[in-house]
Structure 1
Amino acid sequence: MLSVPRLPTELCERVIDSLHASRERKAVASCSLVCSTWTQRSAFHIFADVHLNNANWRSFLELLASPASSSGIAAASRLFINIPDAEDLYALIMAPSFARLRSIEHLSLHNADLTALPLKMQSTLESALARCMKNTTSVELNAMTFHDLGSCLRLAMSFAKLAQLRLVNVLFLKYLEHNMASAAQLALPTSWVVLEVDGGEAIPAFVHCLAASTAAFNPCLRLRLENVEEGHVGLVQKSLAKLSVRFSG
């Protein structure tokens, strides 16, 4: 029986790492189908996205705490969290093993009402995200509830390297008038490159923040607005007009 030549394990690992670094996920997946030697190593690279919800976040923390698997999971670059219970979300982020997710580039938070947490716990959560998500450049807040525009901004500004922020149907407990009035005292980081706001009162609030604030912001900021409510059209147009004056000046 003829022997089949085998690549050294070290060479297999170098090829897998090179393909992963080049974002050639399909090639890694194909190799894992035909070569059982590659399967164990490539499995961690193929699944770079992590989706957490009510049913799996506790078991995920246990897996993340395991020395045998934490190195592979920690390579994940995109984290999606859909945990509506604010206390459960807090427990997840404050867990010691959560800090091992140092390579997350994109974080997506869904359906949590952060106002259910005391202010001190909200502040602690923001600090924990700042420590853990040091490499996060893109954040999506989807159907999240905040006290007001300021608290939403504070959470977003927890991410030191954030360049792209997307807000989808974000809710504020404070009235729109309050958020509009306080917008002039708020400022968006100059490091932000993309701001996308889809639906809700966050659209007029954030546009007014850009137009009314005297603080500098990135003149190359790409602003994208989607699903502007009929009742907000006038406010948005007025703020955009002021914003155009700032640019022309």
Structure 2
Amino acid sequence: MSASSPFTAPEPANLPIVDSTARFFLNRVYCVGRNYAEHARELGNDPDREPPFFFAKPADAVFAVDEGVPARGVAPHTVPYPPETDNLHYEMELVVAIGVGGADIAPADALTHVFGYGAGVDLTRRDLQDAAKVLRRPWDLSKGFDFSGPCTPIVSASAVGHPSAARIWLDVDGERRQDGDLVDQIWPVQGVIAALSRFVTLRPGDLIFTGTPAGVGRIEPGNEITAGIDGIGDLAFSLVSAG
């Protein structure tokens, strides 16, 4: 017997796929913390002492910034400034789209599980995160709020391969704020997938935000953000006051 719902469920979160009419439907979204040495140091941490660690965002926090979310009142190329923060930060990241699931994946096999890649911004309510760290409380509301994962469409690995070295950058109002390279990741994609798959069984539709280079900082309503990863994609959005 099929189950019914007492309400109309929203459409599952999804991203467009470059050069395809198909969509990449999202299952779960994991993020890697402190995966570039200089970023770890700018936050006062020692990158040589930590294995990769992970936190999560809700799947519907991620959206294609060039499309917007009309059903939720977000126009294309805009991101609403979130409530309950006075210190919103950007973190530009390579996004890995999982196409083949698995657990305890060996690093040598990890890339066979990748469908493709995107470029996304992990928006962070830094004041909430800093307070949570002091109180030893979860980061959930500092990372997993509405529209906290603007992203490019997914480009398939069959089209671009598996980039291990590529420029990753972000500008605010035309001023370069982040300028790094994927080669500087402490844990490359293979290592990230292998580590995460020891804790959870990865499934098709999972996304992994793989960490940000140095240069993170504050943004405010009215700022214009442009960012990208060479060979993967670019994105641009305006930060707007909500309501």
Q: TM-score normalised to the size of structure 2? A: 0.21
Larger radius of gyration: 1
By relative contact order (CA 8 Å, sep 6+), the higher-ranking structure is: 2
Q: TM-score normalised to the size of structure 1? A: 0.21
